[in-house]
Chains A and B, each alone.
Chain A
Amino acid sequence: MISRQLKLVKKALSKRVSVAIVSMLLLACGESSGNKQTSMLNDNKHYLPESGGTLINAMTGEPSGLISMIAGESASSAITSNIFNSLLKYDKNLELEGDLVTNWQISADQKTITFKLKPNLLWADGKPITSADVLFTWQAVIDEKTASPYASDFQLVKKTETPDPLTFSVTYDQAYAPALDSWAGLQILPEHLLQGQDLHTAAFVRNPVGSHYYKLDSWAHGENLKLSRNAHSVLGQAKIDRLITRIIPDNSAQFLELMADNIDAMGLDPIKYSRIIPARPELQQKLALYKELGNSYTYMGFNLKHKPFDDVRVRRAINYAIDKQELIDGVYLGLGINIASPYKPGTRWSNPALTPYPYDPTKAKALLKEAGFTDSNNDGILERDGKPFAFEIVTNQNKEREKSAVLIQRRLKEVGIDVKIRAIEWASFISRFIKTGDFDVVVLGWGLGLDPDQYNIWHSSQQAPGQFNFIGYNNPTVDQLLEQGRLELNPDKRMKIYHEFARVLLEDSPIVYLSAGYGLTAINKRVKGIDDPAPPAGIGHNSQEWYIPAPLRRNEISTH
């Protein structure tokens, strides 16, 4: 009885499966590979800018929502930056300019900023953009129910005024220079669609209406987001008609899709950029490679509350003992630069007079000797007061940081310091080591905003558990400079303050700048109009000017 039933089920199932397998085989034979246009791809002269076409890119994570003041993750801002505008934005040289505003005025006491909106701006649904929308957005970001991680900058606003639909002014208790940057980061939301709604659950989160070059057409959960040109765009029309972002978590799978010409652009790691693509002529022919400096750097930070790192001679000695060029060559395959200040080179905040600590083991040994370290028992490891100089480098599970730590370990061994390495998962790393201050040395990175204010990282008041001065840096000169920098809204005067800050910091060596890596991107050569070499703001600064000549467009019917 049972066996008969089983047999029947088996028969039915096997029939269905064999049909499925056969149909898959048929299907496999039915499709032919797309025609290659490589010679046309490399021809840059004969294509004039024209509108149309679709750009397909990929990212590893999916946005949790499209209101970036709540979502916070980079996947979300990558999409929302095409949909929403802010009051201000950064130009190609990373100087502030108006986005939704024509101009902004700072009062004589530097406490009030008055923004003048451009006239006749429209939301994608055709409704006008007014100062009421800006006010609404500000109220939303400071609302406790929103629980925005970025609320703190906006909570400093003591008074807001909207005297007319095009004017919005904010007044702070005291001058607050990072304010301008914060307004460049706050994407303005439409009041008429969100008034009285819960920003976490509103349909708007998955179906936003903005004002920028593109609007969202569809969002297939876990698969892709499709954007198309916004006819009411406040900054004019972009050239490319549609942007599709596919969510592909695995980098290798992304790269296969790029090779198969199913996506046009992806971020690369150094191996793909400098080894794999150059070694394959067929890839080199269809992909253009771009590198741009990111706004982040990797460093080795000392716990300044632990001995012997309280001694500046020891910190400098270690700085001299590490060969940063070796790290850049070994870990990033040369795709990084050596830095001397915590600012992006080429921008006004980076002090051009500063040079990084050179690799100089002799000087390192001399400084260590001066600090009282000698190898009294001839075991190759230095001692002071009978205690060997040994410490542990803690880092999170990040290949580049782990590799850097290994190279550092070897160089420090050469000057007589015994280093161990421990790499652990991020959340454990933060709560077990960083928050408790229970570490000697960390290898970590800072990804920074474009404003030079780094009060939260370096000011001596920011050392409580959970705050960002976890290395315990305490320098009255630096404290004073950081306070001054926050009060000065004039960019030229402000620049001098931060140049001086970076100089003191370099001398004091509370951290060793290891490297600033390049952001690497491959883009299919069908996309034209990309600035190369990239300006300080990166290649994306003029993405609205990018275009895909009609003969080079992908046959959109056969798009996988």
Chain B
Amino acid sequence: MLKYLIKRVLWMIPMLIGISLISFFIMHLAPGDITNNEAAFNPKASEESRQKLREMYHLDKPVIIQYGLWLKRMATLDFGKSFASHQKPVFWQTTDKDGNVTKGLIQEALPITLMINLLGLAITLLLAIPLGILAARKYLGWQDRSITLFNFIGFSIPGFWLSLLLMYWLGVANNWLPISGLHSLNYESLDTWGRLKDSLSHLFLPVVIPSVTGLAGITLFVKNGMLDVLQQDYITTARAKGLNEHSVIYTHALRNALLPLITIVGLSIPGLIGGSVIAETIFAIPGMGKLFYDAVLMRDFPVIMGILTIGSALTLVGNLLADVAYAWADPRVRRGVARG
């Protein structure tokens, strides 16, 4: 097992280099660079100053050399500085010679996105698992049909449209929830309870809307897993033994039915750091999605590469974790790994 783990972790290094190489080249396939952005299209800004900028950022060199420079920096875990945002560090804070600390772009955006996505994932799982089980137990009954209907309505409604409607209803027509942002303007002057209330009320829509609209997939997974399991011989055996329905479902069936969920949760780890551009824009949340989107529009290469690298590293880690969790949860997989 340990040998297997070490092998997997070591394999991640060439994988990461390969991914970064492909990302870097695809990024440079899109025409334009930082000196072509809309603000630079200003007769006051001369071509010489733009040329100087290109030289400063080595944008005048061939892509492969730029990649080499990037890789050399990455070897020391230096994510570089943003082209577009006043040379802010991409990943983590830096201190200049006068002791001024500049916070990193990802450092500022990541906690917000992570919090929203973790809350969202928790809500999705907490709703999807019971709903999936119920739908499987009452397969083709009215409960199953209404859960399916509800899920597909949630799945089909565009998130931004629902968001705007709810923002209008809860924020404008009734003054129940704040419309956008993360904190009220008087947040600083609130006590702890007030701050918690304020944060929760601001987070309510951005967390709940994506979890409800994203419910359909996971519910279906749970339901189908459950249906599969319920047709197995050992369930028939359990029922034949005279076990009550409760322990058939929750002790014998659920364990196996939830196995596919491990894969899904493992694969959703990289998704946790990638915010949704649309939701973040509508709710005025300074998260990762908006950061990445703006970086692409501005051709802010260090930021794009920084987010892609962290994202791909987390995807690989998520895969590994899912496999390990699988082995831990399922003895059949464990034996297979031990043999291989």
A residues with a Cβ closer than 8 A to B are 2-3, 6-7, 10, 13-14, 17, 20, 23-24, 27-29, 31-34, 56, 62, 64-65, 70-74, 144, 147-153, 185, 197-198, 200-203, 205, 218, 220-224, 226, 244, 246-250, 252-253, 256-257, 259-260, 262, 425-428, 430-432, 435, 446-449, 454, 456-457, 464, 466-468, 556-557, 559-560
Q: Determine the residue in chain B with the shortest Cβ distance to A432.
A: B31
Q: Residues of A contacting B157 with CB < 8 Å?
A: none
Q: Answer yes or no: B181 CB below 8 A from chain A CBs.
A: yes
Q: Residues of B contacting A560 with CB < 8 Å?
A: 178-179, 181, 184-185
Expressed in whole angstroms, the Cα–Cα distance for A197 and B167 within the complex equals 45
Expressed in whole angstroms, the Cα–Cα distance for A552 and B64 within the complex equals 62
Can you identify 12 A-B contacts, CB atoms within 8 angstroms? A10-B126, A17-B123, A72-B40, A148-B49, A149-B53, A201-B102, A222-B182, A223-B181, A249-B280, A249-B290, A432-B32, A449-B43
Q: Determine the residue in chain B with the shortest Cβ distance to A182.
A: B44
Expressed in whole angstroms, the Cα–Cα distance for A172 and B170 within the complex equals 61
User: Are A248 and B181 in contact (CB-based, < 8 A)?
Assistant: yes
Contact of B176 among A31, A72, A256, A457 (CB under 8 A): A31
* Interchain Cβ contacts within 8 Å, total number: 212
User: Are A257 and B44 in contact (CB-based, < 8 A)?
Assistant: no
Q: A259-B172, A427-B36, A560-B179 are in contact. Are A65 and B86 (CB under 8 A)?
A: yes
Contact of A24 among B36, B201, B283, B297 (CB under 8 A): B201
Contact of A147 among B41, B52, B188 (CB under 8 A): B52
Q: Determine the residue in chain B with the shortest Cβ distance to A557.
A: B186
Q: How far in angstroms is the closest Cβ of chain A from B48? A: 7
Q: Which residues of B in the span 165-202 have a Cβ within 8 Å of any Cβ on A?
A: 167-168, 170-172, 174-186, 188, 197, 200-201
Q: Residues of A contacting B43 with CB < 8 Å?
A: 446, 448-449, 454, 456-457, 468
B residues with a Cβ closer than 8 A to A are 30-33, 36-53, 56, 84-88, 94, 96-98, 100, 102-103, 108-109, 112, 122-123, 126, 129, 164, 167-168, 170-172, 174-186, 188, 197, 200-201, 204, 250-251, 254-255, 258, 280-286, 290, 297, 299, 329
Expressed in whole angstroms, the Cα–Cα distance for A27 and B177 within the complex equals 8
Q: Residues of B contacting A10 with CB < 8 Å?
A: 126, 129
User: Are B86 and A17 in contact (CB-based, < 8 A)?
Assistant: no
Expressed in whole angstroms, the Cα–Cα distance for A495 and B10 within the complex equals 72
User: Are B86 and A200 in contact (CB-based, < 8 A)?
Assistant: yes
Expressed in whole angstroms, the Cα–Cα distance for A50 and B280 within the complex equals 39
Expressed in whole angstroms, the Cα–Cα distance for A152 and B283 within the complex equals 40
Q: A17-B126, A201-B102, A428-B30 are in contact. Are A250 and B281 (CB under 8 A)?
A: yes
Q: A20-B200, A246-B181 are in contact. Are A427 and B297 (CB under 8 A)?
A: yes
Q: Residues of A contacting B179 with CB < 8 Å?
A: 253, 256-257, 260, 262, 560
Expressed in whole angstroms, the Cα–Cα distance for A205 and B88 within the complex equals 11
Q: Residues of A contacting B33 with CB < 8 Å?
A: 427, 431
Expressed in whole angstroms, the Cα–Cα distance for A198 and B81 within the complex equals 14
Q: Determine the residue in chain B with the shortest Cβ distance to A149.
A: B45
Q: Determine the residue in chain B with the shortest Cβ distance to A202.
A: B100
User: Are A150 and B282 in contact (CB-based, < 8 A)?
Assistant: no
Other A-B pairs, 6, CB within 8 Å; known A6-B254, A431-B33: A13-B122, A29-B176, A32-B175, A203-B98, A249-B280, A256-B168
User: Are B204 and A152 in contact (CB-based, < 8 A)?
Assistant: no
Chain A at the B interface: SS class: mixed
Q: Determine the residue in chain A with the shortest Cβ distance to B197.
A: A27
User: Are B41 and A430 in contact (CB-based, < 8 A)?
Assistant: yes
Expressed in whole angstroms, the Cα–Cα distance for A73 and B37 within the complex equals 10
Contact of B122 among A17, A257, A428, A559 (CB under 8 A): A17
The 4 closest A-B CB pairs, nearest first, are A222-B286, A427-B32, A65-B86, A149-B45
Expressed in whole angstroms, the Cα–Cα distance for A426 and B180 within the complex equals 28
Expressed in whole angstroms, the Cα–Cα distance for A432 and B38 within the complex equals 14
Q: A149-B49, A260-B171, A427-B36 are in contact. Are A250 and B282 (CB under 8 A)?
A: yes
Q: Determine the residue in chain A with the shortest Cβ distance to B182.
A: A223
Expressed in whole angstroms, the Cα–Cα distance for A74 and B168 within the complex equals 29
User: Are B286 and A223 in contact (CB-based, < 8 A)?
Assistant: yes
Q: How far in angstroms is the closest Cβ of chain B from A415? A: 31
Contact of A31 among B32, B97, B175 (CB under 8 A): B175
Q: Residues of A contacting B164 with CB < 8 Å?
A: 252-253, 256
Q: Residues of B contacting A70 with CB < 8 Å?
A: 86
Q: Residues of A contacting B38 with CB < 8 Å?
A: 426
The listed residue with most A CB atoms (<10 A of its CB), out of B126, B280, B285, is B126
Q: Determine the residue in chain A with the shortest Cβ distance to B329.
A: A2
Q: How far in angstroms is the closest Cβ of chain B from A9? A: 10
Q: A24-B204, A454-B43, A464-B47 are in contact. Are A257 and B84 (CB under 8 A)?
A: no
User: Are B44 and A559 in contact (CB-based, < 8 A)?
Assistant: no
User: Are A430 and B86 in contact (CB-based, < 8 A)?
Assistant: no
Expressed in whole angstroms, the Cα–Cα distance for A547 and B39 within the complex equals 33
Q: How far in angstroms is the closest Cβ of chain B from A35? A: 11
Q: Residues of A contacting B168 with CB < 8 Å?
A: 256
Contact of B186 among A23, A249, A447, A556 (CB under 8 A): A556
Q: How far in angstroms is the closest Cβ of chain A from B47? A: 4
Contact of B200 among A24, A151, A221, A454 (CB under 8 A): A24
Expressed in whole angstroms, the Cα–Cα distance for A432 and B29 within the complex equals 12
Expressed in whole angstroms, the Cα–Cα distance for A6 and B180 within the complex equals 35
The listed residue with most A CB atoms (<10 A of its CB), out of B36, B123, B167, B185, is B185
User: Are B284 and A72 in contact (CB-based, < 8 A)?
Assistant: no
Contact of A431 among B36, B174, B183 (CB under 8 A): B36
User: Are B284 and A151 in contact (CB-based, < 8 A)?
Assistant: no
Q: Residues of B contacting A3 with CB < 8 Å?
A: 250-251, 254-255
